[in-house]
Amino acid sequence: MSNGDIFAGEAMGTAILILFGAGVCAAVTLRYSEARASGWVVIAFGWGFGVPAGAYTAAPLSGGQLNPAVTLGIAVDTGKWGKVWVYLLGQFAGAMLGAVLACLVYLAQFQANVRTEGTTEGSAGEPVPTLGIFSTVPETRNPVANLVTEIIATMARVLPVLAFGLTQGQP
């Protein structure tokens, strides 16, 4: 695989993943969305569809790693570090592109969600918080417990890829 193919595959696949994921979070969060307050199950399904959509898009070009933890896990497992930087750059660029695309898709919703002071634009009352569309904040802020949770979740994501031999053909 060429560096260009790896970068393009990871960027496109990660952009699609983030577009689905941030998009479903926006749909569930924003005040005037038809999906407003439909809950975590809808968010889980949106992300669940986004992961394979991104992976299938990227697979022919880069193998569809889409996640820096997966890329680093494969590098540690195989000992091949030469193209890790290309994968990471593609993933970061794709994540930013996916977030921008989600913003554009929901731009009118974001604008309707916020009331502009001194005008009649926006919604009445307080705006709905939107941080959770693009990031997560733990319900219980305990740095040690939160770190342990992230370590466990990362291992649960990376170990199946390594255990099922999904690294075959990966550089």
pLDDT reported for residue 170: 58
User: What CATH number is attached to the domain comprising 149?
Assistant: 1.20.1080.10
Question: Is the pLDDT assigned to residue 127 strictly greater than 80?
Answer: no
Q: Which domain holds residue 16?
A: 3-163
Average pLDDT over residues 81-87: 97
Local structure of residue 1 (DSSP, 8 states): -
The sign of the CA dihedral 99, 102, 59, 151 is positive
Paired tokens of 60:
């022919």
What sign does the CA torsion over 83, 51, 22, 154 have? negative
Q: Percent of the chain beyond pLDDT 70? A: 89
CA 32 to chain centre: 23
Q: Which of 147, 131, 98 minimizes the C-alpha distance to 30?
A: 131
Tell me how many domains the chain contains. 1
pLDDT score at 31: 84
Please report whether residue 118 resides in a domain.
yes
Q: Is residue 77 part of a domain?
A: yes
pLDDT digits (tens, 9 = 90+) for 97-126: 999 999 999 999 988 887 656 555 555 566
**167: confidence class by pLDDT, cuts 50, 70, 90:** low
Residue 10 has a pLDDT of 98
In a domain, 168, yes or no: no
Residue 19 falls inside a structural domain: yes
Q: With respect to residue 171, please indicate whether it lies within any of the assigned structural domains.
A: no
In a domain, 127, yes or no: yes
Give the tens place of pLDDT for each residue, 22-75: 999 999 999 888 999 899 999 999 999 999 999 999 999 999 999 999 999 999
Within-domain flag for 169: no
Backbone phi, psi, residue 47, to 5°: -65, -40
What pLDDT is attached to residue 66? 95
Mean pLDDT of the chain: 89
The candidate with the shortest Cα–Cα distance to 57, out of 96, 112, 18, is 18
Tell whether the model's pLDDT for residue 171 goes beyond 90: no
